[in-house]
Structure 1
Amino acid sequence: MPPTTSVAAAQTDPDRGSAPRHASVRLYDDAGLSWQPVSQRLATVRRVSLTVLLVPVLLVLVPLAVLAWSWFWLGATLAVGLGLWGWWLAGRQVSAISWIEGTEELVVRRGRLFRTVVSVPYGRLQYVDVQSGPLERRFDLATVELHTASPESGGQIPGLPTAEAERLRERLAARGESQRAGL
């Protein structure tokens, strides 16, 4: 049986209409929940970043072509191989990131081989950031970062469309305030 976490997430109960019920979030199972994927444009952002990092490596290899031809081919083959592997890996990583808004917490999961499931209760949220670097802005993406009193218990959702990230920040801030008010 796959490991589970003791978190609750909203799920529509077909017998009760749209009333949410609690379900266990499993580490390697969807558990019938409607996970929200991040934008596939995040893979493009990561691939562009990888290309920007590898171009200088290839430019350094050009003088090696003049000095030591065999070393050039070894280095070029290694750089191109790493680039292709990174290109493939970026797509796999991005497709493995998803999130869901539960009734009492936000759950973020990432990873295929090494899966991580992070549950952040709304009552523990102190503030929610929306961040976007120059490359992310070019692709209309942003990262939502969740901050709690403990740095280890926060989380982030990268690669959301900017408008969706801003709406999520507002919803999470409102839910955090309402649930904290009862403490």
Structure 2
Amino acid sequence: MTDTTDSELFDPAGIEWQPVSPRLATARFILLAVFVGGPLVVFAVLGAVLSTTWPWIVAGALAVLGVLVALVVGRQVRSIGYAERDEDLLVRKGVLFRSLVVVPYGRMQFVDVSAGPLARKLGIASVQLHTASPSTDANIDGLPPAEAARVRDRLASRGEARLAGL
């Protein structure tokens, strides 16, 4: 039995990882401000108007949650990477809960590129690979649009070439 360390498991030797754009962190900070900061303000105002403690407790919990998430967003984005090898695509992500997804090109069915309004405003897009098995789908968030188009076209052509050989 081979003794594999944690770094070898999620960071195979000889792989040159491509990072995603740091603008993905900006997008996540904006979403954090909207979905945690907005309710925090509402509960703080409720606490001031109602003169009771429960809205302040909720506001405090939201503030703690917001700070904790804000502390890890940058590290999470820096942990995302992808690498194109001859036969497959590797996608890694996660700080506390790490994952490494390996998708063989011959198993890919189609590749999507998407960008919502915030992502378009920040100049980023997501590439999602679909396979016959939902558990092996992979996505790469936070790519510049030109890189997302390049990755999409390259993966689609590699996938077609591998399928043709079956």
1:135-180 residue CA offsets vs partner (Å, 9 max, x unmatched): 1111111110001112112111111111100111000111111111
Candidates 41, 45, 55, aligned match of 2:23 = 41
Name the CA distance, whole Å, in 1 between partners of 2:152 and 2:120. 17
User: Structure 1 residues 73 and 56 mapped into 2: Cα distance closer, same or farther (>3 Å)?
Assistant: closer
Aligned to 2:91: 108
Q: CA deviation at 1:70?
A: 3.7
Out of 111, 134, 145, which is 1:162 matched to?
145
The count of residues paired between Structure 1 and Structure 2 equals 163
Which residue is equivalent to 1:22?
none
The one-letter code sitting in structure 2 at the alignment partner of 1:154 is: D
Structure 2 Cα separation of the partners of residues 92 and 143 of structure 1? 19
Residues 82-137 of structure 1, C-alpha deviation per residue, up to 9 Å, x if partnerless? 11111112112111111100000000011122211111111111110001011111
Contact 1:27 1:115 in 2 (8 A): no
> For the Cα contact (< 8 Å) 1:45–1:135, is it kept in 2?
yes
CA contact (8 A) 1:129 1:144 kept: yes
Q: How many Å apart are 1:2 and its aligned residue?
A: 2.9
Look up the match of 1:182: 165
Find the aligned partners of 1:27 and 1:41 in 2 and give their Cα distance: 28
In the alignment, the residues of structure 2 paired with residue 132 and residue 139 of structure 1 have an alpha-carbon distance, to the nearest angstrom, of: 10
Shift of 1:57: 3.4
Counterpart residue type for residue 88 of structure 1? L
Q: TM-score, normalised by structure 1?
A: 0.82
TM, length-normalised to structure 2: 0.89
* 5+ long unaligned stretches in structure 2: none
Is contact 1:27-1:116 (8 Å) kept? no
Moved more, 53-62 or 93-102: 53-62
Where structure 1 has 5 or more consecutive residues not aligned to the other structure, the ranges are: 5-24
1:150 to 105, 129, 133: 133
Aligned residue for 1:8? none
Asked whether the 8 Å contact 1:58–1:79 carries over to 2, the reply is: no
Retained in 2: the 8 A contact 1:65–1:71?
no
Residues 162 and 149 of structure 1: CA distance in aligned 2, closer, same or farther (over 3 Å): same
1:152 and 1:28, CA in 2 relative to 1: closer, same or farther beyond 3 A? closer
Query: For 2:40 and 2:56, how far apart are their aligned partners in 1?
Result: 13
Percent identity at matched positions?
A: 49
